[in-house]
Amino acid sequence: MKLGSLTRMVDRDWIRLSLIAWLCIAVYFLHDRWVGIHYLQLGDTDDNMRLMQVRAWLGGQAGTICVNIG
């Protein structure tokens, strides 16, 4: 494949190539971190607290997600 035809292909299909690259990277990261995702291993106590707030909010408890002012 000549350089000119490769350049034309990239110019024509750059969106499709970008989406394919994004998909490959996303699959790699999912595979690499699957154990942590499966067992819900959150790295920080703030992450755990936010998860509990979202679960409470989805369960119908209003007012649990607050913004700190100050």
Mean pLDDT by 10 residues, the chain (70 residues): 83 93 98 93 88 87 60
CA distance 33 to 40: 10
Lookup: tokens for 50: 């936010």
Give per-residue burial for 1-26: e unless 16+ CB within 10 Å, then b: eeeeeeeeeeeeeeeeeeeeeeeeee
Helical pair 14-32 and 3-12, crossing angle rounded to 10 deg: 80
At residue 23, the pLDDT reads 98
Q: What is the pLDDT of residue 42?
A: 86
pLDDT at 19: 96
| pTM for the model | 0.59
Specify the pLDDT at position 10: 87
CA gap 64, 42 in Å, rounded: 20
